[in-house]
């Protein structure tokens, strides 16, 4: 692409007449560029609000600087918890998501019946399309203290006393992990199915002639062939390890204060601080931290992916 | 191998496992539906269950009879989804077409300008302050349409790639020799050929709007502008407020809180259109997920 451009430049210097034919194309680009400028670029500059004592009257750019005061407050109080939660959940999601995704992908590609194959694929993708608010209603149907299915139909017949699900932090790492995998595993599975379908079938034929069992074929052929896409997926998720799914951590625990110790992540913290009175400074500081570290991680992860497999890199 | 006993046994085992997975995937949706058709009495006695003691359509009857808030919210969601998705497709496909023309001067710089938005973002606080204090978007219908969802780098890139791979450069050249302008080629060649990618990208843009509750959470507290997801979210908030502080909530709550089965019915009604189109558009959903349109 780059060489092509150079050739063009050598051949012809852009004259106004030539340039004129491209004007409609620039006009077609304009609305999208204006939108991205407003929606994405102005907030990028607004990130300086993290170093300011925001006053509504003076606006983002007019407010007085207050140095690192917002960060001092953030790191003295809440940073440890929200960073820990965000990182730990993401690590669990990445590892478990990969194990579940690869397992399901291998099983589904092995199914011989085409109809069943399609049924399974459709089923695992379905939760992906459901809004997290509705997911939180469904979780509530399971876990509501008075009416919940778990307390009424599972614990009661077993003679166990009901659990105050929305007040007991110890269960939530498992609940949130389950919900995340339930909702998200379709994505990974789909990617890995594409990877498996692309493996040269002659590998398996040769292995079968040598008497390899199905298990040996999986561990010696399928998984090694998936390694490049596994690495890419992991790198891309590592690049987003400071981001958390706001909906999952805010909606699914129903914003329950008793659970904050295990449900507060950077994204929920940014929102809750923003709407609390006087919290805008620490909210902006946490957001700044997330954006900048996130950017560094995405760049780092991409650089690694480029070294491993060039075609899977984002850029 | 294909017909061996071991293989048959293997097929049985993986099908059992996958059927189990399918049940886990679908059962929660069944529970949601069953809760919405339980009679209030059996909900109160036995809680939500997969097979209620007593069926009742009273929740849906209640929605039909008293559902002004709900119908209105449904209307808002449909409006926002249709308008937002249309504008999204228009903006993204125009930009994508321009960028697919390899001779376009400054093409790389513009591409980078678009792509960079995927790498770095200012986060919630600056966006919130900008939309509320510069554009005064709070409590307007635009708050549900414009922030975040109107056009995204991912969609532009997906459509551009599609144009570049499926419309040969030679076709443009031929059209140009015939005296066609770029605009004409867009209308007569690119748009008709791009239909499959428009369906995929449009589907996910629409899904994004339909499922979005964040813009409603940030920018809307006027009950008239609630979308269906915002309404569902506010119902949870009202219940929490009620539990936290009974007196404050009774004066502050914007609406009367519906009974449990009605709430489940509203959630199901919000989900129903997705369930209804899913079987028919499954192929496009799968393609979109694989391409990463979700994040667009």
B2-35 pLDDT per residue, tens: 557 878 898 999 999 999 999 999 999 999 999 9
Looking at residue B168, what is its pLDDT? 83
Report whether A206 contacts A271 (CB < 8 A). no
Q: Chain B: nearest CA to A222, how far in angstroms?
A: 17
Residue with tokens 């023309």: B101
Residues A262 and A174: their CA atoms lie apart, in Å, by 10
C-alpha B75, offset from chain centre: 15
What percent of chain B has a predicted confidence (pLDDT) above 70?
Answer: 92
Q: Which residues of A touch B270 (CB under 8 A)?
A: 131, 134
Range name among A46-50, A296-300, B186-190, B283-287 with the lowest pLDDT average:
B283-287
Alpha-carbon distances of A100 from A185, B174, B178, rounded to whole Å: 7, 50, 55
Residue of A nearest to B211 (CA): A131
Q: Which two tokens stand for residue A61?
A: 């750019």
Give the minimum alpha-carbon distance from A285 to chain B in angstroms, rounded to a whole number: 9
Cβ atoms of residues A12 and A256 within 8 Å = no
Q: At residue B248, does pLDDT exceed 70?
A: no
pLDDT digits (tens, 9 = 90+) for A137-161: 999 999 988 888 999 889 988 989 8
Residue B110: closest C-alpha in chain A: A33
Q: Compute the nearest-CA separation of A182 from chain B (Å).
A: 7
Mean pLDDT of B99-106: 90
Nearest-Cα residue of chain B relative to residue A16: B105
Q: B198-213 pLDDT, tens per residue? A: 999 999 999 999 999 9
pLDDT at B251: 45
Mutate to test the interface with B, among A15, A29, A31 (most CBs of B within 10 A): A29
Q: What is the mean pLDDT of chain A?
A: 89
Q: What is the pLDDT of residues B140-187, one digit of tens each?
A: 999 999 999 999 999 999 999 999 988 888 888 888 888 888 888 899
**What integer pLDDT is reported at residue A12 of this predicted model?**
55
Task: Indicate whether A230 pLDDT > 90.
Answer: no
Number of helices (H), then strands (E), belonging to chain A: the values are 18, 2
pLDDT tier for residue B294 given thresholds of 50, 70 and 90: low
Q: What is the mean pLDDT of residues A84-100?
A: 95
B31:A138 CB<8 A: yes
Of B15, B150, B278, the CB nearest to A111: B15
What is the pLDDT at residue B261? 84
Give this prediction's pTM: 0.90
Under the banding of pLDDT at 50, 70 and 90, the label for residue A117 is very high
Answer whether B49 sits within 8 Å of A8, measured CB to CB: no
d(CA B135, CA A80): 35
- Enumerate the residues of chain A whose CB falls inside 8 A of the CB of residue B80: none
Q: In whole angstroms, give the CA distance from residue A7 to residue A120.
A: 51
pLDDT tens, B44-62?
788 888 988 889 898 898 8
CB A138 to CB B289 under 8 A?
A: no
Q: Give the chain A residue whose CA is nearest to the CA of B20.
A: A120
The pair phi, psi for residue B106, each rounded to 5°, is 65, 20
Cross-chain residue pair A29–B99, CB shorter than 8 Å: yes
Write the pLDDT tens digit of every residue in B214-239: 999 999 999 999 999 999 999 888 87
Which residues of chain A neighbour B102 with C-beta distances below 8 Å?
A: 1, 4
Q: Which of A127, A131, A81, A130 is nearest to A104 (CA)?
A: A127
Average pLDDT on A169-194 reads: 94
What number is the average pLDDT over the span A19-47?
Answer: 94
Q: Which residue has the higher pLDDT, B14 or B242?
A: B14
**Which of B104, B115, B240 faces A254 most closely, judged by CB atoms?**
B240
Residues of A in Cβ contact (< 8 Å) with B163:
none
Alpha carbons A236 and A240: distance in angstroms, whole number: 7
What is the reported pLDDT for B7?
Answer: 82
Nearest CA to CA, how far is A82 from chain B (Å)? 16
* Contact call for A126 and B278, based on CB within 8 A: yes
């Amino acid at each position: 692409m780059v060489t092509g451009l150079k050739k063009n430049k050598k051949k012809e210097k852009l004259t106004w007449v030539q340039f004129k034919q491209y004007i409609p194309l620039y006009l077609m680009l304009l609305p999208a560029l204006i939108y991205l400028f407003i929606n994405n670029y102005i907030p990028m500059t607004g990130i300086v609000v993290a170093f300011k004592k925001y006053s509504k009257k003076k606006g983002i750019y007019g407010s007085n600087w207050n140095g690192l005061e917002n960060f001092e407050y953030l790191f003295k109080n809440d940073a440890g918890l929200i960073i820990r939660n965000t990182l730990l959940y993401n690590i669990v999601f990445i590892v478990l998501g990969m194990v579940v995704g690869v397992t399901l992908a291998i099983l589904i590609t092995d199914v011989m019946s085409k109809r069943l194959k399609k049924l399974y694929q459709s089923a695992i993708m379905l939760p992906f399309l459901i809004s997290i608010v509705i997911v939180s209603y469904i979780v509530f149907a399971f876990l509501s203290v008075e009416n919940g299915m778990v307390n009424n139909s599972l614990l009661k017949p077993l003679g166990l006393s009901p659990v105050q699900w929305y007040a007991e932090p110890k269960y939530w790492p498992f609940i949130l992990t389950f919900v995340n995998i339930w909702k998200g595993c379709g994505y990974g599975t789909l990617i890995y199915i594409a990877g498996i379908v692309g493996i040269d079938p002659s590998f398996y034929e040769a292995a079968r002639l040598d008497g390899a069992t199905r298990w040996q074929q999986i561990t010696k052929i399928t998984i090694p062939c998936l390694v490049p896409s596994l690495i890419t997926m992991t790198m891309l998720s590592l690049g987003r390890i400071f981001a958390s799914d706001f909906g999952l951590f805010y909606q699914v625990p129903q914003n329950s204060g008793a659970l904050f110790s295990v449900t507060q992540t950077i994204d929920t913290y940014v929102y809750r601080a923003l709407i609390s009175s006087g919290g805008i400074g620490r909210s902006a500081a946490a957001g700044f931290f997330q954006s900048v570290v996130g950017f560094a991680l995405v760049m780092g992860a991409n650089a690694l992916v480029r070294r491993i497999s060039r075609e899977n890199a984002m850029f | 191998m294909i017909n061996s006993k071991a293989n048959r046994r293997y097929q049985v085992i993986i099908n059992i496992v996958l059927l189990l997975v399918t049940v886990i995937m679908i059962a929660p949706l069944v529970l949601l539906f069953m809760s919405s058709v339980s009679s209030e009495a059996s909900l109160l006695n036995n809680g939500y269950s997969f097979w209620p003691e007593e069926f009742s359509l009273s929740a849906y009857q209640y929605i039909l009879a008293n559902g002004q808030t709900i119908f209105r919210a449904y209307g808002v969601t449909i409006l926002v989804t249709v308008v937002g998705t249309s504008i999204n497709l228009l903006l993204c496909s125009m930009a994508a077409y321009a960028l697919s023309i390899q001779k376009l001067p400054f093409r790389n710089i513009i591409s980078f300008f678009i792509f960079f938005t995927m790498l770095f973002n200012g986060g919630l606080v600056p966006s919130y302050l900008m939309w509320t204090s510069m554009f005064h978007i709070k409590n307007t219908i635009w708050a549900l349409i414009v922030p975040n969802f109107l056009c995204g780098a991912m969609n532009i890139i997906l459509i551009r790639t599609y144009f570049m791979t499926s419309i040969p450069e030679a076709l443009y050249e031929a059209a140009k020799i015939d005296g066609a302008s770029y605009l004409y080629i867009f209308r007569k060649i690119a748009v008709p050929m791009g239909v499959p990618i428009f369906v995929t990208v449009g589907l996910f843009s629409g899904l994004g709007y339909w499922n979005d509750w964040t813009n409603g959470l940030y920018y809307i507290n006027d009950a008239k502008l609630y979308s269906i997801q915002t309404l569902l979210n506010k119902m949870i908030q009202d219940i929490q407020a009620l539990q936290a502080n009974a007196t404050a909530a009774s004066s502050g709550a914007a609406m009367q809180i519906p009974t449990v089965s009605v709430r489940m019915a509203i959630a199901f009604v919000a989900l129903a259109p997705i369930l209804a189109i899913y079987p028919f558009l499954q192929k496009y959903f799968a393609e979109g997920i694989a391409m990463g349109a979700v994040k667009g």
